[in-house]
């Protein structure tokens, strides 16, 4: 269980990146005069999803350790083990990378000089007027039942 306690640092980094994304997003919206509670609420739901994913990976790692310890005590010599993967670290690293890109998008909106930096100029500025290209569940169901993917 000591190994699980070491995960608080990677979780802290992911949570700090999420908080920094919210702060820079709010600052960018304030600068543009476009603070909207609906967008803030949507962003919070995204962060809640990330937190849920972290909790899920912690539960997996704890469960794997408990099951492996129980199996080794109740069935000595058994080959059954659950794989103990670094799920928390992997998920937190992915979340941190996603948040870094989002923070850079927000910083571009706050300070146009940042947009000219060599590594930042490759990130497209977020365009709130751009059409939503995500596909909803209802649309996926319609495409699956009609057999068409061009809708």
Q: Residue 144: what pLDDT?
A: 62
CA distance 151 to 137: 13
Is 135's pLDDT higher than 60?
A: no
Q: Residue 41: what pLDDT?
A: 92
Two tokens at 130?
Answer: 């751009």
pTM for the whole structure? 0.74
Q: Could you tell me the residue ranges of all domains in the chain?
A: 1-116
Q: 59-117, pLDDT tens digit by residue?
A: 999 998 888 888 777 878 777 788 888 999 999 999 999 999 999 999 998 998 988 88
Q: Residue 7: what pLDDT?
A: 75
Is 141's pLDDT higher than 90?
A: no
Instruction: Output 109-118 pairs: Cβ under 8 A, ≥24 positions apart.
Output: 109/28, 109/31, 109/32, 110/24, 110/27, 110/28, 110/31
Give the mean pLDDT of the chain: 83
- Residue 104, C-beta contacts closer than 8 angstroms, at least 6 positions apart: 114, 120, 123
Query: In this structure, how many other beta carbons lie within 10 angstroms of the beta carbon of residue 84?
Result: 13
């Amino acid at each position: 269980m000591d190994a699980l306690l070491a995960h608080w640092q990677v979780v802290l980094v992911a949570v700090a990146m999420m908080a920094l994304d919210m702060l820079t997003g709010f600052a960018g919206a304030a600068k543009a005069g476009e603070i909207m509670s609906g967008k803030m609420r949507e962003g919070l739901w995204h962060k809640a999803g990330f937190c849920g994913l972290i909790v899920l990976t912690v539960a997996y790692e704890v469960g794997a350790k408990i099951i492996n310890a129980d199996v080794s005590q109740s069935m000595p010599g058994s080959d059954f083990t659950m794989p103990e993967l670094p799920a928390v670290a992997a998920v937190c690293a992915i979340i941190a990378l996603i948040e870094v890109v989002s923070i850079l998008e927000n910083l571009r909106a706050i300070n146009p000089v940042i947009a000219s930096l060599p590594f930042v100029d490759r990130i497209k500025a977020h365009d709130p007027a751009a059409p939503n290209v995500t596909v909803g569940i209802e649309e996926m169901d319609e495409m699956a039942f009609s057999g068409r993917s061009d809708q």
